[in-house]
Amino acid sequence: MNKLVSLVNVFALLSILAVGGGTAVLPQMKHEAVIQHHWVTAEQFADIYSLGQLAPGPNMNMVAIIGYKVAGLAGAILVLIAFYLPSCTLAFAVGKVWDHFEGSPWRDAVQRGMAPITIGLMLSGVYAIGRTATFNLDHSARHNLITVAISALVTLTLLLRHVNPALLILIGGAVGWFALRMM
């Protein structure tokens, strides 16, 4: 019971704090799940995030796995509700009043002001996952070389070409299976 309450508390707060999308709350989610509550290890968190990339739909559905691991199916369902309901309610309310501020210079100021915060938070999210998945001092130099190469090539490809990201994720998995399994 206690576990369910802390799951709901953590993910409902993350829902409201996710300024600029799911990546923005990855550092805090990792901190809460790994260090505060010991729900998963850092390695498992990175693995669960990877699994999230393999399923269709919003890539933060992976929060369900954390809920499931802590408290079974009830945990998974509650975490999904806690993570989606608060921000969705807010989005619904703002969607209703947004048109009233059409052309308001203050609306533009909020948008312009929030943009760099959003990008700073996204970079923090990339860094939080990257420290485990791309460059990890617990792994061998060869392992790091390969994961850094995969990340860099995916980034470059996406910046230069229009490719379906799902394809690159699958290729990354295949390269990992081929090059990293002997270690």
Report 23-82 residues binding other proteins (CB under 8 A): 23-25, 27-28, 31, 46-62, 64-65, 68-69, 76, 80
Closer by beta carbon to other proteins, 5 or else 58? 58
Give the torsion sign (CA, 24, 26, 1, 78): positive
Question: ∠ at Cα 161 (156, 163), nearest 5°?
Answer: 100
Q: What would the two tokens of residue 44 be? A: 């498992």
Cβ-defined contacts of 30-38 (< 8 Å, 24+): 30/128, 30/129, 33/66, 36/10, 37/6, 37/10
What is the distance between the alpha carbons of residues 181 and 113, in angstroms, rounded to a whole number?
45
Nearer to other proteins, 2 or 95 (CB): 95
Cβ 32 to other proteins shortest distance, Å: 9
- Nearer to other proteins by C-beta: 2 or 181? 181
Angle at 152 between CA 151 and CA 158, to 5 degrees: 90
**Number of chain residues interacting with other proteins (CB under 8 A):** 109
Q: Give 5 or 31: the residue with its C-beta nearer to other proteins.
A: 31
Least distance (Å) from other proteins to the CB of residue 65?
A: 4
- Identify the residue among 1, 92, 137, 138 touching other proteins (CB under 8 A): 92
Examine residue 128 and tell whether it contacts other proteins (CB under 8 A): yes
The contacts of residue 41 (CB under 8 Å, 6+ apart) are 34
Q: Which is nearer to other proteins, 1 or 97 (CB)?
A: 97
DSSP state of 138: T
- Tracing tokens 């130099």 back to the chain, one arrives at 141
Selected binder of other proteins within 95, 137, 138, 141 (CB under 8 A): 95
Q: Minimum CB separation from other proteins for residue 21, in Å?
A: 5
180 binds other proteins (CB under 8 A): yes
Among 3, 21, 37, 74, contact with other proteins (rule: CB under 8 A): 21
- Burial of 174 per CB tally in 10 Å (0-12, 13-18, 19+): exposed
Least Å distance, CB 123 to other proteins, is: 5
Place of tokens 């970079």: 123
